[in-house]
Structure 1
Amino acid sequence: MQRKKFYLDPPKVLVLGFALIILIGALLLTMPISTTNGQGLSFLNALFTATSATCVTGLVVVDTGTTFTIFGQLVILSMIQIGGLGFMTFATLFAFLIGKRISLKERILLQESLNNLSMEGIVRLARRILIFTAVIELAGAILLTLRFSLDMPLGKAIYFGIFHSISNFNNAGFDLMGEFHSLTSYVDDPIVVLTICSLITLGGIGFIVMNEIYEFRVSKRLSLHTKVVLMTSLFLLVVGTIGVFSFEYANPKTLKPLSFLGKFLGALFQSVTARTAGANTISIGDMTHPSLFLIIILMFIGASPGSTGGGIKTTTFTTLIGAVWSQIRGKEDVIFYRQRIVYETIYKAITVAFSGLFLVVVITMLLTITETGKDFLMILFEATSAFATVGLSMGLTPELSHVGKGLIIFTMFAGRVGPLTIAFAVTMRRNPDAFRYPKGKIMIG
């Protein structure tokens, strides 16, 4: 009876785990050693920063590069790494190091954390995730260090290379460039743009997809999930790049002053970063309304399941498009690559998309009340960015009221762990229905 009373199922463990990491990080950031002024952050600003880092969002109320000491920046970087990979992955790493056997409960938690369909091979997948992460982040850090070393001392270049590699692979978007400038100084730099775009993309496609691509040389096959993720990611990347390039081509505040290559790199970066990364190479507040609305759509869709990114996910978006297209054609089944999508998946996609949309709408409405006098598009952009854990902002974040910060903190947390996970965590344990009601019909459309 007592064990049943205090039973924590996977959703509860994940929610409480993320909350605990955020709280510890917030307390560390309030310490005098964390900030350059020697006073520490206020608890609300520390909580906002810790939530943004752990939920790999990137929205900031204070500038990371100038406000925090090395200690404070390393605290933020640690939260980004733990939040991006998931604390269960790090718990598995610790178990590996001490030679501890991974229990069945821990395997179930890993499966839930990684959003994997099966528990088979989940420990091997966790081990590979750690290896993939170390290799990719190291490669990114080396490339960025080599480029940054042309503009700053070698020691600083190494630190900047490591920080920005980890931040962008985990789709966090935190930067050390100062004065909220992000990477605008490197808008037309091929090395920085292509390196960070690669880091964001690899972190955003998901570790399951990454693992299948790695095993393709042996298996010679890709699962339906991987095919859908790669197809959708490529489609959104192309549409986003073409859209931003077209809408911003003649904008004197963004792409117009750049060469053709610079325009392409600027458009490409904004298309990639809108998929939950948060760094930017052109001023978001100066972009045209069509570009901003396109970025809102890309942010809401987000990255892929089992990745470091947020949003409703690429597979959810594609499943909904497939369901709509099947209805238009008068077909009963949703077919991708000659495989039928089961109804449970379609229902879950609808639930995830509606939950995300409902959260964005409610938070946007509340922010219009708390942030009086602010432009509606700016507020909608901020709410969507927080939900999708993107971190892009039109400049509203540092000006948020105390209540507004609280709303964005909740939105970032809900967006990272997932509205459904929170709902499952706070509800009673679910039991199957003992009976089914007779069918009823209602008119649609």
Structure 2
Amino acid sequence: MALGFLCIILLGAMLLSLPAAARDGEPTRFFDALFTATSATCVTGLVTLDTATHWSGFGHAVILLLIQVGGLGFMTLASIASFLLRRTFTLRERMVMSAGLNLTENAGIVRLTRRVLFGTIAFESVGAVVLACRFVPRFGAWKGIKMGIFHSVSAFCNAGFDLMGTPDVQFPSVTGYISDPVVNLTLMALIVIGGLGFFVWGDVYDNRRHPHRLRLHTKLVLTTTGVLLAIGFLMTLVFEWSNPGTLGPLKTGDKLLAAAFQSVTLRTAGFNTIDQAALSGPSQAVACFLMLIGGSPGSTAGGIKTVTAAVLLLTTLSALRGRTTVSAFGRTIASRGVMNAVTMLVVGVVTSLAGACAISYWEAAPFHQCLFEAISAFGTVGLSMGLTPTLGLASRLVLVLLMYLGRVGILTLGVAVLMRHREPPKMHYPEGQVMVG
């Protein structure tokens, strides 16, 4: 999976380097094409070139394809292709499909893959129709339909790429629709659904009449997602209510809508209706916290994931209560899950900080801006304080690496590099005691 994403990124970079991919008909510098291809495949949304004004129709098609492949995962798409050809899946193929969806078991994987296919088509189609109804009156039939499809796929895959830029105003995202409830609510719905995870879809559908039968993973995802969305919404209102650069000039209803959109987009979406560079210090801290957590396992989103955050919180509460096991919703969480959660947190924080330090050193830029961009890249969010387009080559390569790590996954890459042979340990050491705290 790690090598597969790398190959797709390189192929996308070569296609975007072609003269036909640029609006002016000139070849795009390879490193700009590589950055864009990485951002699209890793469904991030950070860009060094304005998507609408620099790339041609062919370039937009390549970016959209990379977003779709990156959002679903190339393994899932390969499985869907086999499904459409009516091939029989071998045990090995079922294991590969499970890995592509970040699942730990193979049971029902073919049925889940079908749901991923039909669910993705259904959600993106509905989103495209609704958005086109708003875009066609402003941009005309052809361009309005194209923009509806592009933004629907980009939102569902949590990519954050947009086609709103003009020669006079570049990198605007969807700031022009800050007061439009239809555009805002449609994008928010697509972002949340795409970020919940394919497994959650199937579990909710199977137990729609018996919610109490939902699996532990689904309950943790839904609960944590709801709590994080509420935190982001309330904190944005509190810290930005009177900020003249963000919510200050808006009416009360528009403030509520913009705060809700800001909370949702921090779930690794990358669209923005308010200027991220104008956020207050506390709001930037909240944004970094939520971007680092990101979406849910097995979804189109990145970050250390919602379940990781939930397991870490539950572990902390158990430790404070003097317990040696971690439980939730009447189930004990396996020790391996706790170890994975701690690993995700430590590596995610260390990687983001290291990236921010490197960028700050090379660019002599304020550290808080560098940290915001680094976490946005690692969490495959795509929100920017305006620093990314101004970065030099070395700093852009740092962001490319962070986006790749965030999308492929720390544990996936670690297993690929460090655990090629999963053999049980040949010896067990006696237990020792350490002093912590």
The two structures have a TM-score, normalised by structure 2, of 0.97
Matched, 1:368 2:323: no
Q: Which moved more, 1:92-101 or 1:431-440?
A: 92-101
CA contact (8 A) 2:357 2:367 kept: no
Q: Name the counterpart of 1:133.
A: 120
Q: Name the counterpart of 2:189.
A: 198
Give 5+ residue unaligned stretches, structure 1.
Answer: 1-13
Residues 216-238 of structure 1, C-alpha deviations (whole Å, 9 max, x = no match): 23555211111111000000001
Alignment partner of 2:221 out of 222, 229, 233: 229
Secondary structure of the equivalent of 1:212? helix
Matched, 1:340 2:332: yes
Rounded to whole Å, the distance in 2 between the matches of 1:421 and 1:370 is: 30
1:113 CA displacement:
1.2
Rounded to whole Å, the distance in 1 between the matches of 2:415 and 2:203 is: 30
Matched, 1:183 2:189: no
Q: Name the counterpart of 1:58.
A: 45
Matches within 5 A, 1:75-94: 75-94=62-81
Residues 415-439 of structure 1, C-alpha deviations (whole Å, 9 max, x = no match): 1001222222223423211111111
Alignment partner of 1:173 out of 153, 160, 171: 160
Matched, 1:242 2:240: no
CA contact (8 A) 2:162 2:173 kept: yes
Alignment partner of 1:157 out of 129, 138, 144: 144
Rounded to whole Å, the distance in 1 between the matches of 2:179 and 2:371 is: 29
The two structures have a TM-score, normalised by structure 1, of 0.95
Q: Which moved more, 1:407-416 or 1:349-358?
A: 349-358
Rounded to whole Å, the distance in 1 between the matches of 2:188 and 2:305 is: 18
Matched, 1:430 2:422: yes
Where in structure 1 do 4 or more consecutive aligned residues deviate above 6 Å? none
Percent identity of paired positions between Structure 1 and Structure 2 = 46
1:381 CA displacement:
0.3
Secondary structure of the equivalent of 1:340? strand
Secondary structure of the equivalent of 2:208? helix
Q: Name the counterpart of 2:388.
A: 397
Paired residues, what number? Answer: 431
**Quick one: which amino acid aligns to residue 131 of structure 2?**
L
Q: Name the counterpart of 1:260.
A: 252
**Quick one: which amino acid aligns to residue 392 of structure 1?**
L
1:172 CA displacement:
0.1
Q: Which moved more, 1:293-302 or 1:216-225?
A: 216-225
Q: Which moved more, 1:103-112 or 1:53-62?
A: 103-112
Matches within 5 A, 1:98-109: 98-109=85-96
Rounded to whole Å, the distance in 2 between the matches of 1:113 and 1:63 is: 31
Matched, 1:270 2:262: yes
1:125 CA displacement:
0.5
**Quick one: which amino acid aligns to residue 204 of structure 2?**
I
Q: Which moved more, 1:338-347 or 1:392-401?
A: 338-347
Rounded to whole Å, the distance in 1 between the matches of 2:208 and 2:361 is: 55
Q: Name the counterpart of 1:116.
A: 103
Alignment partner of 1:320 out of 304, 312, 318: 312
Rounded to whole Å, the distance in 1 between the matches of 2:35 and 2:411 is: 22
Q: Which moved more, 1:251-260 or 1:301-310?
A: 251-260
RMSD of aligned alpha carbons: 1.0
**Quick one: which amino acid aligns to residue 151 of structure 2?**
H
Q: Which moved more, 1:416-425 or 1:194-203?
A: 416-425
